[in-house]
Amino acid sequence: MILGFDPTLILDLNLAGTFVFGLSGGLAGVRARLDLLGVIVLAFVVALAGGIIRDLMIGIPPATFRDGRYLAVAAVAGIVSFTARPVLDRVDRALTFFDAIGLGLFCVTGASAALAHHLGAVQSIILGAITGVGGGVVRDLLLRQIPNILRTDLYAVPALLGATVLVVTHQAGGRSALFPLLAAGACIAVRLIGVRYGIKLPIAPSERKAEPPPG
């Protein structure tokens, strides 16, 4: 039980996050010209990595391998990505979009799970953010790209924000289903606004006049 939050809501958010991260992973795989199984594998990895990392950090067996629903949802996302990329691409920047939604959902469920296992507020915020960014980091590592989270656009900021909203409202006694949804929405909104307007965090003062490194 997620300490006062409706467990069905948290499960639904988790399954929805699994699906959109599965799409994000699957589409990245299709673009990288992976074969059918490679696409499904990447959908699985991206969809499940955040939750697996979360459970390992909490110190419990990863729920994913006990609960077949996550596996089924991730597999469907992979197959949809493989067959439906032209449709998905009509939603321009589909990958960025699904990735943002997964980020928002998982930072909320990750922070909730940490609170439910009696981790402190700061730890729960960080673990929420890790749950959110974990799938994307693993995707980028496997495809040999510098992870999104280390680039200068807003990626970890919205994840931390969403987890913070969740934890603060929870600590303040809020138990309404509105708070997890609000927290996820805040994360998704900031992420998408950041992408849309190219908002960047500053790099270190010492590096600002330097040449960008080659590559």
Interface with its own copies (CB under 8 A): 29-39, 41-42, 44, 52, 56-62, 65-66, 68, 71, 81-83, 85-86, 114, 119-120, 122-123, 126-127, 137, 141-144, 146-147, 149-152, 156-157, 160, 200-207, 210, 212-213
Minimal CA–CA distance to 167: which of 108, 89, 212, 117? Answer: 108
198 sits in the region (left: phi over 0; alpha: psi -120 to 50; else beta) called left
Our CB check for its own copies shows the closer of 85 and 169 to be 85
Closest separation in Å from C-beta 15 to its own copies: 16
Our CB check for its own copies shows the closer of 6 and 89 to be 89
Our CB check for its own copies shows the closer of 85 and 177 to be 85
Minimal CA–CA distance to 185: which of 212, 162, 155? Answer: 162
Closest separation in Å from C-beta 92 to its own copies: 15
Residues 6 or more apart in contact with residue 154 via CB below 8 angstroms: 190, 191, 194, 195, 199, 200, 201
d(CA 169, CA 180): 9
Our CB check for its own copies shows the closer of 146 and 178 to be 146
